[in-house]
Homo-oligomer: A and B are copies of this chain.
Amino acid sequence: MEKSTFYHAGCPVCNTAEQELVHLIEADKIDVVHLGEDKSKIAEAKAKGVNSVPALVTPNGNVLHINFGASMDDLVS
């Protein structure tokens, strides 16, 4: 079973979106990646088309940018 991946950076906007989505989508169908804590995943997220966080990448590869917490450019250390 393919999973969605939720990318976030720990910002308040991200946390609200995460709580809502993890509640709406079954937990075993979504992976959560904190780009602030795991910066090695930033390139992976960008390659998938993630421009800002929070964002949900679906099993079909579509990127759903949800509200706006931070630009990916702000996450590069």
Looking at chain A, what size class is its interface with the partner chain?
A: 10 to 19
A55-77: CB near B (< 8 Å → 1, else 0) gives 00010101111111000000000
Question: Hey, what's the 0/1 contact readout for A28-60 against B, CB within 8 Å counting as 1?
Answer: 010000000000000000000000000000101
Q: Which residues of chain A have a CB within 8 Å of any CB of chain B?
A: 4, 16-17, 20-21, 23-25, 29, 58, 60, 62-68
A-B pairs, 8 with minimum CB distance:
A20-B58, A64-B66, A24-B25, A65-B67, A20-B62, A66-B66, A16-B62, A17-B64
In the complex, besides A17-B64, A65-B68, 14 extra interface pairs with C-beta distance below 8 angstroms are A17-B62, A20-B60, A20-B64, A21-B64, A23-B58, A24-B24, A24-B25, A24-B29, A24-B58, A63-B67, A64-B66, A64-B67, A65-B67, A66-B66
